[in-house]
Amino acid sequence: MRNSLRPVRALMVVLFALLVATSMVSGENARAAEKVYRMKIQSLYPRGDLSMETLKIFSDAAAKYSDGRLKIKIFAEPEIVPGDQLFVATKQGVVDMLQGMGGMWGGMVPVGYVEFNLPLAFRISEASTFKEKARVIRDFYMNNGFMDILREEYAKQDMYLLDIHTYGPVPFVLSTKKMTTCEDLNGMKIKADGGNMAYHSGVGMQAVQISPSETYMALKLGTVDAAEWDVSAVTGMKWHEVAPYWVQGMECDHAIGHILVSMKKWDRLPDDVKAAMHKAAEDYWVATVDAYEKEIAAVEKLVEEGKVKVSVLDQECQDKYADVAHNMWDEMAQQDEASSKAISMIKKWRNVR
């Protein structure tokens, strides 16, 4: 009798062990599903910047799509670290992610100079509206391998490139005088930054660096004749009050920024939380397109009121800017292999030889 019970007892032991193991796995899965992931994002820009303020949509969407398991707290520059330290601080885990633009850290990731505001690269002549142009650019990034190049380069710096967003047209140039030809531009002083200093200098202007906070007075006093920024030069900093001419013809329709996540933090997230963050970042893209479209509409209303005056460069001057831009592309392609691939991809896309 005892011998006949041994198989039954053995089966019961096995079943009990399986029940315990299943309970433990279920418990771990339940705890993982209940875990709240708290993360910090800092913008490269201060409070009041449109892209920084719009980050609330990203944070709210992340909480929504993760059923409250992903909570992202937003900080502006320099609330955790100064902007020039933000990339390294994110790598080191001082902050979990950043919102900014590739040109700021191009010294560490050279293709960042290609990614952000490469002169005329994102001037979309085949589309007519602000949103249509944005859609063409996003399709290029996401569906032609361009994003793959960028992600690979940022991964070398232990960063995950989550998604992109827009800053609207850049350079957004305001001038104290009407300018329609390159002869008008010749010798004029323009406040410019980064690669755009060479861009404007290439058509005869004198590019100088001045902080945005000092630019209004520099324009008013005649220290400079023109200045570039994004649309907030009008809607935020009111430069048009002293420089009412909106000079057009050399700008990208959209300058593209990004959100980068510390790779160590990204790798620790479960797949469903990663998916929620990706979806939230797409919402942020849409939100920035909407926000900057409204800002452009506000400037166009000022044009109707006569407070801002449109000054379009003639075709000869636009062609001269294009020659300078394409020479800059070729120079930038020499930075490294990734930059060369990215420039080749852009040339094919924009039909430039």
pLDDT for 31 beyond 70: no
Q: What is the pTM of this model?
A: 0.86
Rounded distance between C-alpha atoms, residue 262 and residue 189, angstroms: 40
∠ Cα 339 344 346 (to 5°): 95
The DSSP string of 251-311 is -BS--EEEEEEEHHHHHTS-HHHHHHHHHHHHHHHHHHHHHHHHHHHHHHHHHHTTSSEEE
What pLDDT does 48 receive?
A: 82
pLDDT for 5 beyond 90: no
Q: Which helix (H) or strand (E) holds 33?
A: helix 2-34
pLDDT for 34 beyond 90: no
Summarize pLDDT for 191-239 with one digit per residue, the tens: 998 889 999 999 999 999 998 889 999 999 999 999 999 999 999 899 9
- Nearest Cα residue to 308 out of 255, 233, 254: 233
- Which DSSP letter does residue 100 get? E
> What is the pLDDT averaged over residues 85-93?
96
- SS3 for 305? coil
Over pLDDT 90: what percentage of the chain? 85
Domains and CATH numbers, the chain: 38-167+256-295 (3.40.190.170), 172-252+302-350 (3.40.190.170)
Rounded distance between C-alpha atoms, residue 345 and residue 144, angstroms: 8
Q: Which helix (H) or strand (E) holds 332?
A: helix 315-332
Tokens 């991809």: give the residue: 345
Summarize pLDDT for 105-136 with one digit per residue, the tens: 999 999 999 999 899 999 999 999 999 999 99
Summarize pLDDT for 7-25 with one digit per residue, the tens: 556 566 555 656 655 555 4
- Mean pLDDT, all residues of the chain: 92
What are φ and ψ of residue 97, in 5° steps?
A: -155, 165
Rounded distance between C-alpha atoms, residue 252 and residue 306, angstroms: 24
On the CB side of 238, how many CA atoms lie within 13 Å of its CA? 3
What pLDDT does 6 receive?
A: 61
Rounded distance between C-alpha atoms, residue 215 and residue 194, angstroms: 16
CA torsion, ordered 35, 151, 125, 205, to nearest 10 deg: 110
